[in-house]
Structure 1
Amino acid sequence: MNVEDAPEGVEEPQILPLDAWHRARGGRMVPFAGYLMPVQYEGIMAEHLWTRESAGLFDVSHMGQLVFTHDGDIATVVRALESVLPGDVAGLGDGRMRYSLLLNEEGGILDDLMVTRRGSEIYMVVNGATKYDDIGHLLDALPDDVTMNLQDEQALLAVQGPKAVDALARLVPGVEALVFMTAGAFDWNGHALWISRSGYTGEDGFEVSIPAEAAAAFADALCAEPEVKPIGLGARDSLRLEAGLPLYGHDLDPETTPVMADLGFALSKRRREAADFAGAQRILAEREAGPAVKRVGLLVTGRQPVREGASVVAEDGAVIGRVTSGGFAPTLGAAIAMAYVPAELAAPGSGVRLVQRGKVHEATVAAMPFVPHRYVRASASPQTPSKAGA
């Protein structure tokens, strides 16, 4: 297997193609996933609510964009990827995408990712913090005759919110024909774009892969539309938490299985029946008997957020679980969290006790998403909720 441009031993924060663009617009830059990224512009609360009501522009160029090929033979690529992913890659039609997981041999999650069929190749987007580890794992696991290219010459921008389609369609006519989890090739001012109708906020929206040298001009054009404002990492995190979407390195890690994480939908029926993916024996046994712990949503009593790292405790004070994400939900006006709790406490309505810095907080297990998803599907209204997210 071959890979291009994967730097080794990267320690200093890398610079996004739009670094100067963010700074010129007042973006406060912070280290995240090995990059300097904007955490906010005018304020997390305002940016969160703007995205829910209109459209926000997110720079997600830190994500890894990988392309897999084999001399135009898509079948070989599919077989290779199905050796490391538990999803039905063979069943993807052209321009169709699917959420999947990179698993270790024990069934633990190494990363969560998106896979898209793009003609005779497979396009994959992996998390920024894990992309070089993912590349190393894939180099070891896939056959030498499959080529993997890291597209680090491409920026990746997400336009999210109920008015995203209005703004983007003025610049790129035809994107309105896409529906959730579909993608296609487009053109803007002579620059080739790859656009999917997907995202990480629970809102309708798009992700746009664009040559890095054109990204600033494209971002300018988007933000010239009245619906669009730049949005930072802070609001991205609160939006995804309201949408019940897990974040790798926080809610997902190599010790966590898809069943524990409530991501069973990423295990396709055909692959479950074949039991031919990494960690299949453990994962299928957990599906049958139920996991010992499970990822749940929590509504926290009061307005004070309970953050990652807080403990879930029994009545006698024994630690029985952990909070993995938490914060204030601007849309709900309430404190919410995700946590891993014993399976017997995972049903909605169950009361749990949390301890953060010695202070006890009461919480109730709640169904996720906390805020309904508004993905636009082929045969459903924009208000139809969905469990899957990117």
Structure 2
Amino acid sequence: MAEATDGPLLTTPLHALHVELGAKMVPFAGYDMPVQYPTGVLTEHNWTRAEAGLFDVSHMGQCFLIPADGQFETAAAALEKLVPADILSLKPGQQRYSQFTDEAGGILDDLMVTRLGLEGHQHWIYLVVNAACKDADYAHLKAHLPAGVTLKIADELALIAVQGPTAVAAVASLAPDIANLKFMTSTDLKLGDIWAHVSRTGYTGEDGVEISVKNADVVALTRLLLADPRVKPIGLGARDSLRLEAGLCLYGHDIDTTTSPVEGGLTWSIQKRRRAEGGFPGAARVQKELAEGTSRLRVGIQPDGRQPAREGTPVKALDGTAIGTITSGGFGPTVNGPVAMGYVNRRFAEPGTPVILEVRGKDLPAKIVTMPFAPHRYFRG
């Protein structure tokens, strides 16, 4: 998961705690981040699937859109000019996944959009964007928001995720009301003595929450959560294998400016009204692809045997014709074997289709499969 970076590395407010806990630190998206702790990636992955893993995601970008007229619709209409999701229909506390698209229909970044539920703030929109894209995202927002909508960058906030079957119970020991939250909804409350914004969401396929909290409070809250025997710290290595098994895209790998939301299999994130009306960058391409299909699609790929196929691995038809490329791949501890995703020619995208992966100059058999590789366990009430 380490990525090259220019200049000195930034740190999150939890950096000293990661070091104290024995984390192996690596550069990621310009930050010095924990890739694993002493027990290792495999143990961390399996713990998250069985109990509760705590992730530092404070490198992500957090910001708010605030309409000067106090009307949620003003901010929602402004954001709808930049993303294909239906923002106007969001109820207080409701959350949606979407993408910033460009004029060619490519994806500039993917993000989470929440209409705040807190009394007096229900006209605010809260965004969480990817760490590597956040500066570009903020500039994009500033350049396109109308005069009546202000962008407030929330550098004073940290973000942690607690994921796994016992995650919500562990957090609910500090605030019982959290147990009633449904997937993709949020609330604002106190965890112990610490004020937090809690969303029932995450990027592991497991039930769990993401917690936005002030930088000054995040170490105390993290220590409080880690004092629960069900909760252990988890690094970027297991975060990546968990999201891959869950069939979830990693920006810059599985989706980017060369892929459209339709090619990426993200049409579920474009609600009916927006499909019909358009009004977002690249809408003409997206609407055409929705009507006519695309030349390629993101698919799940399961290699035979034990050899993982990494990003960049060529995918071929049985006759040797090049038909696509792996964009994410590795070992899936939950399925006890290699898993991958990537793009293939639409004619080969049907689950069960046999394909060949060219791994280190050798042809290895594989097949197209339905994602996720590990079942999603979100709590929908």
CA distance in 2 between counterparts of 1:214 and 1:225 reads 18
Deviations along 1:254-312, one digit per CA (max 9) or x if unpaired, are 01001100000111111111122211111111111111010000111111111001111
Deviation of 1:140 (Å): 1.4
One-letter amino acid of the counterpart of residue 40, structure 1: Q
Give me the CA root mean square deviation: 1.3
What is the SS of the residue equivalent to 1:14?
coil
Aligned to 2:235: 232
Please say if residues 26 and 32 of structure 2, whose CA atoms lie closer than 8 Å, have aligned partners that are also in contact.
Answer: yes
One-letter amino acid of the counterpart of residue 33, structure 2: M
CA distance in 2 between counterparts of 1:346 and 1:175 reads 40
Deviation of 1:138 (Å): 1.2
Deviations along 1:141-162, one digit per CA (max 9) or x if unpaired, are 1113211111111110000000
Deviations along 1:120-156, one digit per CA (max 9) or x if unpaired, are 2000111111111111111111113211111111110
Greater CA drift, 274-283 or 243-252: 274-283
Stretches of structure 2 that go unaligned for 5 or more consecutive residues are 117-121
Aligned to 1:53: 50
Aligned to 2:119: none
Deviations along 1:174-209, one digit per CA (max 9) or x if unpaired, are 111101000000113443200000000000000000
One-letter amino acid of the counterpart of residue 84, structure 1: L
Aligned to 2:85: 87
Matching residue within 26, 33, 40 for 1:30: 26
CA distance in 1 between counterparts of 2:325 and 2:133 reads 22
Is the counterpart of residue 289 in structure 1 residue 292 in structure 2? Answer: yes
Residue pairs, 1:31-180, within 5 angstroms: 31-41=27-37, 42-71=39-68, 72-118=70-116, 119-180=122-183
TM-score by length of 2: 0.95
Deviation of 1:77 (Å): 0.6
Aligned to 1:17: 13
One-letter amino acid of the counterpart of residue 272, structure 1: R
Deviation of 1:313 (Å): 2.2
One-letter amino acid of the counterpart of residue 41, structure 2: I
CA distance in 2 between counterparts of 1:315 and 1:328 reads 24
Deviation of 1:357 (Å): 2.3
One-letter amino acid of the counterpart of residue 18, structure 2: H
Deviation of 1:315 (Å): 4.4
One-letter amino acid of the counterpart of residue 105, structure 1: E
Deviations along 1:363-386, one digit per CA (max 9) or x if unpaired, are 1100011111000002xxxxxxxx
Greater CA drift, 172-181 or 252-261: 172-181
Deviations along 1:30-65, one digit per CA (max 9) or x if unpaired, are 011111110000201000000000000000001111
CA distance in 1 between counterparts of 2:77 and 2:7 reads 34
What is the SS of the residue equivalent to 1:120?
coil
Identity over aligned residues, as a percent? Answer: 51
Aligned to 1:184: 187
Residue pairs, 1:306-321, within 5 angstroms: 306-315=309-318, 317-321=320-324
Stretches of structure 1 that go unaligned for 5 or more consecutive residues are 1-8, 379-390
TM-score by length of 1: 0.93
What is the SS of the residue equivalent to 2:176?
coil
Matching residue within 317, 323, 327 for 1:324: 327
Is the counterpart of residue 298 in structure 1 residue 301 in structure 2? Answer: yes
One-letter amino acid of the counterpart of residue 63, structure 1: M
Deviation of 1:354 (Å): 1.1
